[in-house]
Chain A
Amino acid sequence: EAGVAQSPRYKIIEKRQSVAFWCNPISGHATLYWYQQILGQGPKLLIQFQNNGVVDDSQLPKDRFSAERLKGVDSTLKIQPAKLEDSAVYLCASSFSNPGLAGGYNEQFFGPGTRLTVL
């Protein structure tokens, strides 16, 4: 079974530039997550999709970040314009089961991440 794919793996941009990340989840996984992980911290959920609908985007800085999952499969995350504090690893994860199930065992499988450096 192929894992979660992400590209690019690394990206270096200057502040105020734009950048986009792509994620292809594991086949059949309905739930897709984008996380931001700053060095030394745990993952911070930016947005969670269930199929092509947004479940949670409460921590997404909507003035500069956007994400879409138009066909309910792969997804893109965009930052426009980037700031220095956006330097982080952006992780995409997917899970199979419905996260709304009480006690649900919805293991999240992570992609390799995209390391973004904003200069």
Chain B
Amino acid sequence: QKEVEQNSGPLSVPEGAIASLNCTYSDRGSQSFFWYRQYSGKSPELIMFIYSNGDKEDGRFTAQLNKASQYVSLLIRDSQPSDSATYLCAVKDGNNRKLIWGLGTSLAVNP
């Protein structure tokens, strides 16, 4: 059973701090990794995609991928109350046919 694991949280950080969200996956053949954000009562929306080992930065968001250790993380710098949401990690399986989703980590940014 291919799995994606996330700490459910809630993760609570003060405004302006760095929020660090982690995700581990079991399928060593996975090559594509996604972070989706889901506000309460809304649908998921893609915020980061990463394919290569290392870091990928987009504004205040940085995704980090380590395929040898099978983990992917999301860093949110200068966290804002508007970042309060559930962050879902999704990993494309090694057959490249479907996404395996984590349960999500709830993030609360306190003013």
Contact = CB atoms under 8 A, between A and B. Distances in A.
B22 interface: no
A100 interface: yes
Contacts of A107: 34, 46, 49
A102 B94 CA distance: 9
A41 B88 CA distance: 10
A103 B92 CA distance: 8
A91 interface: yes
A42 B97 contact: no
B32 A103 contact: yes
Interface string A48-68: 100000011000000000000
Contacts, number: 56
B97 A43 contact: no
Given A103-B32, A105-B32, A43 B96 contact: no
Q: Chain A's interface: helix, strand, loop or mixed, by majority?
A: loop
Contact of B92 (A43, A48, A99, A113): A99
Contact of B43 (A56, A101, A103, A112): A112
A108 interface: yes
A44 interface: yes
Interface string A84-119: 000000010000000111111101101111000000
Contact of A108 (B8, B42, B99, B102): B99
Given A42-B103, A44-B101, A99-B96, A104 B46 contact: no
Interface of A: 40-45, 48, 55-56, 91, 99-105, 107-108, 110-113
